[in-house]
Chains A and B, each alone.
Chain A
């Protein structure tokens, strides 16, 4: 009886180990190479998460403190393209595709921060 349980255990553990290994391999092989995500904040609240790795040409509109703010993504980069703020510094920042190089519209309280879990890229730009 004991031997039977031990043999069954070995079979089960082997099967699960193979399945786990296969699953992990699948996850690693299918992981996106450019794992960039842009988080859009209103003040301190996360209001939109945009997957830049899809490299979509797409417009998003978010409500800022004073006016709407229009965001554009293209080729894995993101920019604020329209805002009712007086100085337009956020628009002048242009398209950003680097991690931790935020785009900030102080007037509207909007911040866009790109984060990545990919090895090798810059963590901070100063």
Chain B
């Protein structure tokens, strides 16, 4: 008799397991964007822990509003400021990319980016003398980072303002990935639209199918990686037939970019974000050099054409 009572719940539980599917989801409003988080396995919901990480990093990297110990405070003067370990690591990584990307990735574009934004909001092109003045400030600004007795500090030298908008969201996804991996969760997705963290999908052998908004009828498959995109499609402003973007070339001060969209697949979020922004103002040869150096995949798109694509960036027909 005992056996019969064991068999019933066993079979019922098998049936239930076959027909139900549960997962966690959460919407985040940080980094001037909306991010959609999905955790497809595990008993505990780690999307809430990730919310806390995003919250603090968002405050640390906000260059428009004071939160106590962040970029806004560093931008106010040339004094030493105590900062969090995460912000220290992010600034350190940013400076490494700044050196390595041939000057086309620069965190000191903040003030110039603000001036361009104000100007473009009024459908005006920023005057050359203002651009020149701000580019000089960018050239003459640097950042000193230090750690002493477990205290992390940053000191800006110069007048240009720091803006981590091109890397902060990607770096936040790096921290989010750590939360999933450290807790044994392998099936997850955080879709921040221009910055995406992919774990494993619940179908397609773990692959996610990613369709392009701009490249009609094409898609690609990816898992366990990061995607960074940049472009003029969403935030570009056209004046007299010329499209101006929000991405500033720190060398020339121009916001006229080389491509309509850039797509990058890389093994960390900060890198994917930084590369996709940098590629918007890079030549194809410069892009080739950087993807080789970092083992990333890239696709450059302009005027309805794929200008360049690495071999590893495999795109397919949606109906193929």
A residues sitting closer than 8 Å to B (CB atoms) are: 5, 8-9, 12-13, 16-17, 20, 23-24, 27, 39, 41, 43-44, 98, 100-102, 104, 106, 109, 111, 113, 115, 117, 119-126
Contact = CB atoms under 8 A, between A and B. Distances in A.
Interface string B16-37: 0011010001111100001010
B203 A124 contact: no
A117 B194 CA distance: 23
B293 interface: no
B214 to A, nearest CB: 9
B50 to A, nearest CB: 12
A34 B189 CA distance: 22
Interface stretch (B1-9, B72-80, B88-96, B158-166): B1-9
B201 A123 contact: yes
A102 B34 contact: yes
Contacts of A20: 11-12, 14-15
10 contacts: A16-B11, A24-B18, A41-B27, A101-B213, A102-B34, A120-B209, A125-B211, A125-B212, A126-B210, A126-B211
Contacts of B204: 119
Interface of B: 1, 3-4, 7-8, 11-12, 14-15, 18-19, 21, 25-29, 34, 36, 51, 189, 191, 193-194, 196, 201-204, 208-213, 219, 227, 229, 263, 318
Task: Pick from B25, B191, B219 the residue with the most CB of A within 10 Å.
Answer: B191
A32 to B, nearest CB: 14
Given A120-B209, A122-B211, 19 more contacts: A5-B1, A5-B3, A9-B7, A12-B8, A20-B12, A20-B14, A20-B15, A24-B18, A43-B29, A44-B26, A44-B29, A98-B211, A100-B36, A102-B36, A102-B193, A113-B27, A113-B36, A123-B201, A124-B189
A24 B3 contact: no
B213 A126 contact: yes
B219 to A, nearest CB: 7
B7 A124 contact: no
Given A9-B7, A20-B15, A24-B19, A44 B28 contact: yes
Contacts of B7: 9, 12-13, 16
Contact of B21 (A17, A98, A101, A117): A117
B253 to A, nearest CB: 28
Contacts of A113: 27, 36
List the 8 closest pairs (A to B, CB-CB), nearest first: A122-B211, A123-B208, A16-B11, A20-B15, A124-B210, A125-B211, A44-B27, A41-B27
A79 B51 CA distance: 28
A126 B227 contact: yes
B171 to A, nearest CB: 19
Contacts of A109: 29
Contacts of B203: 119
